[in-house]
Chains A and B, each alone.
Chain A
Amino acid sequence: MLTLQVNGAAHQVDVPDDMPLLWVLRDVLGLPGTKFGCGIGECGACTVHVDGKAVRACSLPASLVGDRPVTTIEGLAEDEVATEVTKAWLDIDVVQCGYCQPGQIMAAIALLKGNLHPSDDEIDQAMSGNICRCGTYRRIRAAIRNVAGAV
C-alpha cells in the first residue's frame, strides 16, 4: 500500500511497485487531465509536478514518489502563476486539439516558477520535451512571454 500526496490530499493506493505515476493518476485516482502520449518520456503529455519540478509521470514509478507532493492539471486552482498561465493560454487561443496542453501548461508553470522572465533559449530548453502535433509552439512561446510580462 502506497500513500501519495496528490493535489493537497493523501491517497492510499494498492498498486504494483513498478506502476508509473501516470496510470495511478489516470486509472486509479480518476484524474484524467494528465495524458498518455508515448509511455517512454519522449512527448511530455504526462507532465506533472513532483515537489514543484516538472516530471514525466509515465516514466516515474509511483513507489518512488514517496511523500513528495504531486500536482496535476486538476490541482492548480489556488496557484497564482498557474492562473496567469491559463489566462495567457486563453487570451491568445493557444489550444487546438488540446490533448498535449495539460502537459505543456505544467511544463510552463514549472519553468515560470523558477524563472519569471525566461529567455527564448530558456523557454526552448524547458519546453522542447513537450511535443504538440497540432503545432501550437509559436503560441505557447508567446503565452509564456505574456505571463512574464503580466506578473
Chain B
Amino acid sequence: MPVGTIAISRRRALLGAGGLLMAAMVPLERSRAATRIVEDQTGPFAPNAFVRVAPDGSITLILPNVEMGQGIYTGEAMLIAEELDVGLDQIQIEAAPPDDAYITKALGTEATGGSTSTIATWTSLREAGAVARTLLVRAAANRWMVDAASCQTEAGMVRHGPSGRTLSYGELAIEAAALPVPAGPVALRDPSTFRLIGHAQHRLDGPAKVAGTATFGIDIRQPDMKVGTVAACPVMGGVLLHVDDSAARKIPGVRDVLTIGNAVCVVGDHFWAARKGLEALAITWDEGVNSTVSTETVYRGLHEALQGPAIVAHTKGDAKGAIAGAATRVEAVYQQPLLAHAPMEPINCTVHVTPERCDIWVGTQVPMRARDAAAEITGLPKDKVFLHNQYIGGGFGRRLEHEYVTQAVQFARQVAYPLKIVWSREEDLALDRYRPAYVDHLVGGLDAHGKLVGLSHRIVGPAVVARWAPEALLPNGVDDDLLAATVETPYAIPARFLDYARREAPGVVTAWWRGVGGTRGVFVIESFIDELAASAKVDPVEFRRRMTGDHSRARAVLDLAAEKAEWGSKLPEGVGRGVALQYVFGSYLATVMEVEVSQMGTVRVRRAVVAVDCGRVVNPDQVVSQIEGGLIFGLSAALFNEVTLEKGRVQEKNFNTYRVLRMNESPAIEVHLIDSTEDPGGIGETGTAAAAAAAANAMAAATGRRYRRLPLTGAQA
C-alpha cells in the first residue's frame, strides 16, 4: 500500500509554509519523493489510491494515467475534483507510481493506451473523490456533533448549514483518516449539478509547458550524472561481435564505452561528447538471419497469405452465398505500410543503480512493466526499484514499449554514477518498434437496388497482442485489436464473413501505434464502403446513411458533418470531398475532408470537418484538441509515411526522410460535438483513425481513381 507513504515532512518543505491554495502543478520530478519514507505522525488523509489531504491543507490527486499530450491529467483531476468538491486551483497532481491500484483492467497492466483512460476512470475516479468527501463530511459532523446530512461542502470546505460553521479539508484530515472507509458504494452527483465535468477547463500542465519548465524524461539531471548515447545493431536480432573504441576514448569528454549483447553505449560529460564518441567507434555486428529482409519481403509475405489457410474471426449469416447471388460483386485489396512513431522527444531513460536500489526517471506508458524489468535485470526486489514517471513528449504507443528502459538499466548497472541515455533521432527511427504493415482483401455483393447484401473480408498481418499481452490473444488465435472498427461498424450489414491470416513481419518488432486496430480498420472499411457506393452509383453520404440501420448515433454524426461541410456543394476543379464514418473506442465520428490533387500530383488537404459523439464529455475543448491533433498525426502517415527496409535496415533516418505534416500543409479543421448523456467513449486516437480513409476518399473524388495503398503520395499508391 504505497500510497500515503510519501514523506509528508518533505512535502511541506517543498511547498513552503503550507496553506490551502497550492499551485495547480508541481514539476513531476519533485512531486514523487525519491525515497518512500513512512509518513510522520500527522499523516495525510488517504482513503484510496487517488486522493490525499494533508493537515497543512494540501490536496494531492494521484492520477493513474500518464500525460503525453492527451490532457488526461486535467480530465482525471476534474473527475476527482468534481466529487471531492475542490477547485482545480486547490490541488496538486502526481503521476501514479507502479502499483496494482493503478492497473487499467482493459490493458491488464498499469498502462495508458488504447483510448481507455476516460472510459476506465469515469466512474472509479468520481467514486474516489466521493468517498473522500463523505469521510471529510463525517469528520466535520463528528467534531460539531451534528447530523452529517446537515453539512455541505464547497471548494475544499465543509459547512454546517444551520450554524454556518466551516472547517477546511486540511483541518479535518487527521480525523477523517481515523474513520472507516465506506464499504458500499457512495452516492455520486447528479450530472445536472456538475461544476467541472462538461465545462471547458484550462489544461493543468499548460503553464509549465509554455514556460519551458515542465520536466520531460530527457530533461532529468542528477548529481554526478553522465550522458550516454547508443548504437544498437541496426538489423533486428543481430549481436555485437567487436567494437574498437580506441578513437572514441580519445575524444574530450568521453568517459566510458559500455557494451551489452546487441548495443554499444558511449558515455560522456554531455550528449555531444557521447555522440562524437559513438561516431568514432568501429563496430562489427553479426547481423544474423534478418540481414536480407527488404520491404518487398514484408509485402510479399502478406500478399501470399491472401490465399491459403486462415482463422475464422467472425461470421454472420451466409456472406459467401449472399455475394454469390448478388447482382454486382465488388472487390478490393488494401495495403498499409510499416510506420514509425517518431515522437518529438527522442527515446531516453535515466537510471541510477546502487547495491541497495535502482532509480529510474523516464516517461513511460507502462510504469509497472518498466519497474519489473529493472528488478529482474538488477536482481533487486521490486520495492527497491523506484520509477519516477515524467511528462511524455509524445507517446503514440512508442512508450507502451519498455525495451529502452531495459537497455538503459543494462548499461547503467555497469557504472556507479546516474546514467542518462538519450537516443539520437536516427537511432529512434532505426530501432523503433513499428506499426505493422497489413494487407486486407474485401469482397462485397450489391443487390439490384445497390444495397450491400454480404461482405467477405480477410485481414493479413501480425498479431501485436501476441507479443505485448499474450494472454489477451483470443483462444482461436485472433488478435482482437484487428477486429476494431471492422466487426463492429456503424452499419447494419446482413451477412459477414471475416477471417485472419497471421503473418509476423520479418526483420522488425511490431507494436501499437496511435489508433491501433481502428487506424487499420477504418481505412479499409471506409475505403471499401466508398467503392461500394460508387459501384451502386449512390452518393457516399447517402449510401452510408441508408446502411446505418439502428445506429442512430452514427447517423447523427454523419448528418451533422455533411451539413457543416456543405456536402454536395460545388468545389473547384481538382478538389474532391471524402467522408469517413466510424465507431471505435466507444465513440462515433464522421469526418468530411476536402483534398486538392494538382495536375502534378501534389496533394493538399484543404479542410476537415468532424462531427463527434463520444458520449458524455469531460473537458470539451480537449476533445476538440485531440481530434485536431489526431487528424494531423493520421494525415502525416496517410499522406507521406512508410518505413522501408533494405538488407534488414530501416532506411528512414530523420525528419528529412520521414516527413511529417507541417503548419503550411495542415488543413483548416472544424470539430462539432454532439451533446450526449451516454457513458464516455475514448477520443485520443479517433481522429488518427479517421484520417487515411477520409483523405483517400477525397482524393478518389478529386481524381476519379481509387487509392488502395498507403501512403497516399507514395510510389505504390
Which chain A residues have a beta carbon within 8 Å of chain B's beta carbons? 15-16, 18-20, 23, 26-28, 30, 32-40, 42-43, 45, 72-74, 86, 89-90, 93-102, 105, 123-125, 127-141
Flag if B227 contacts A139 (CB, 8 Å). Answer: no
A16 smallest CB distance to B (angstroms): 6
Asked whether A42 and B346 contact (CB < 8 A) given A95-B210, A99-B394, the answer is no
CA–CA, A100 and B655, complex, Å: 14
Cβ–Cβ < 8 Å partners of B498 in chain A: none
Cβ–Cβ < 8 Å partners of B161 in chain A: none
Cβ–Cβ < 8 Å partners of A35 in chain B: 216, 218, 344-345, 393
The answer, among B272, B395, B663, for a CB contact under 8 Å with A20, is B272
B24 smallest CB distance to A (angstroms): 12
**Given A38-B654, A129-B662, A134-B629, 11 more pairs with CB closer than 8 A:** A15-B270, A20-B272, A26-B271, A27-B270, A27-B272, A40-B656, A90-B202, A97-B343, A98-B208, A123-B663, A133-B633
Cβ–Cβ < 8 Å partners of A39 in chain B: 424-425, 654
Flag if A37 contacts B424 (CB, 8 Å). Answer: no
Contact with A along B614-656 (1 / 0, CB 8 A): 0000000110010011111100100000000000000000111
A127 smallest CB distance to B (angstroms): 5
Q: Residues of B within 8 Å of A, CB-based: how many?
A: 67
Contact with A along B233-267 (1 / 0, CB 8 A): 00000000000000000001100000000000000
CA–CA, A151 and B632, complex, Å: 30
B423 smallest CB distance to A (angstroms): 10
Cβ–Cβ < 8 Å partners of A95 in chain B: 69, 203, 205-206, 209-210
Most buried by B among A34, A130, A134, A136: A134
Asked whether A90 and B344 contact (CB < 8 A) given A42-B655, A98-B69, A128-B664, the answer is no
Flag if B253 contacts A99 (CB, 8 Å). Answer: no
Flag if A23 contacts B272 (CB, 8 Å). Answer: yes
Asked whether A93 and B203 contact (CB < 8 A) given A36-B271, A138-B666, the answer is yes
Interface membership of B212, Cβ < 8 A: yes
Cβ–Cβ < 8 Å partners of A124 in chain B: 663-664
Q: Which residue of A lies closest to B661 (CB)?
A: A135
Flag if A138 contacts B669 (CB, 8 Å). Answer: yes
Cβ–Cβ < 8 Å partners of A15 in chain B: 270, 272
Asked whether A86 and B210 contact (CB < 8 A) given A42-B654, A93-B625, A98-B393, the answer is yes
Q: Which residue of A lies closest to B343 (CB)?
A: A133
CA–CA, A39 and B425, complex, Å: 7
Cβ–Cβ < 8 Å partners of A74 in chain B: 212-213
Cβ–Cβ < 8 Å partners of B661 in chain A: 135, 137
B481 smallest CB distance to A (angstroms): 22
B384 smallest CB distance to A (angstroms): 28
Cβ–Cβ < 8 Å partners of A40 in chain B: 425, 654-656
Contact with A along B645-686 (1 / 0, CB 8 A): 000000000111000111111101100000000000000000
Interface membership of B215, Cβ < 8 A: yes
Flag if B629 contacts A28 (CB, 8 Å). Answer: no
CA–CA, A94 and B622, complex, Å: 10
Flag if A98 contacts B628 (CB, 8 Å). Answer: no
Asked whether A136 and B210 contact (CB < 8 A) given A38-B654, A40-B654, A98-B391, the answer is no
The answer, among A18, A30, A133, for a CB contact under 8 Å with B344, is A133
Flag if B632 contacts A43 (CB, 8 Å). Answer: no
A-B contact pairs, 10 of them (CB 8 A): A19-B270, A26-B219, A27-B227, A40-B425, A45-B344, A89-B206, A93-B206, A132-B344, A137-B661, A138-B668
CA–CA, A63 and B272, complex, Å: 14
A77 smallest CB distance to B (angstroms): 9
Flag if B271 contacts A23 (CB, 8 Å). Answer: yes
Flag if B663 contacts A43 (CB, 8 Å). Answer: no
Tally the A-B contacts, defined by beta carbons under 8 Å.
182
The answer, among B227, B253, B342, for a CB contact under 8 Å with A16, is B253
Flag if B621 contacts A98 (CB, 8 Å). Answer: no
Q: Which residue of A lies closest to B70 (CB)?
A: A96
Interface membership of B207, Cβ < 8 A: yes
Cβ–Cβ < 8 Å partners of B210 in chain A: 86, 89-90, 94-95, 98, 101, 105
A31 smallest CB distance to B (angstroms): 9
B254 smallest CB distance to A (angstroms): 11
Flag if B209 contacts A98 (CB, 8 Å). Answer: yes
Most buried by B among A20, A28, A90, A95: A95
B263 smallest CB distance to A (angstroms): 19
Interface membership of B386, Cβ < 8 A: no
Q: Which residue of A lies closest to B344 (CB)?
A: A99
Interface membership of B362, Cβ < 8 A: no
Flag if B663 contacts A127 (CB, 8 Å). Answer: yes
Asked whether A135 and B629 contact (CB < 8 A) given A93-B206, A95-B203, A128-B664, the answer is yes
Interface membership of B422, Cβ < 8 A: yes
The 10 lowest CB-CB distance pairs between A and B, nearest first, are A135-B632, A33-B212, A99-B393, A98-B209, A97-B69, A73-B212, A96-B69, A27-B270, A135-B629, A32-B219
Cβ–Cβ < 8 Å partners of A102 in chain B: 212
The answer, among A101, A133, A139, for a CB contact under 8 Å with B342, is A133
Flag if B345 contacts A139 (CB, 8 Å). Answer: no
Q: Which residue of B lies closest to A136 (CB)?
A: B629
CA–CA, A28 and B273, complex, Å: 12
Q: Which residue of A lies closest to B215 (CB)?
A: A32
CA–CA, A89 and B392, complex, Å: 19
CA–CA, A140 and B218, complex, Å: 24
B215 smallest CB distance to A (angstroms): 7
Flag if B213 contacts A33 (CB, 8 Å). Answer: yes
Q: Which residue of B lies closest to A106 (CB)?
A: B212
Cβ–Cβ < 8 Å partners of A26 in chain B: 219, 270-271
Flag if B391 contacts A97 (CB, 8 Å). Answer: yes
CA–CA, A95 and B631, complex, Å: 16
Most buried by B among A16, A23, A97, A102: A97
Interface membership of B329, Cβ < 8 A: no
B628 smallest CB distance to A (angstroms): 6
Most buried by A among B206, B215, B227, B395: B206
Cβ–Cβ < 8 Å partners of B212 in chain A: 33-34, 72-74, 101-102, 105
Cβ–Cβ < 8 Å partners of A90 in chain B: 202, 206-207, 210
Cβ–Cβ < 8 Å partners of B630 in chain A: 135
Cβ–Cβ < 8 Å partners of B422 in chain A: 36
A104 smallest CB distance to B (angstroms): 9
Interface membership of B448, Cβ < 8 A: no
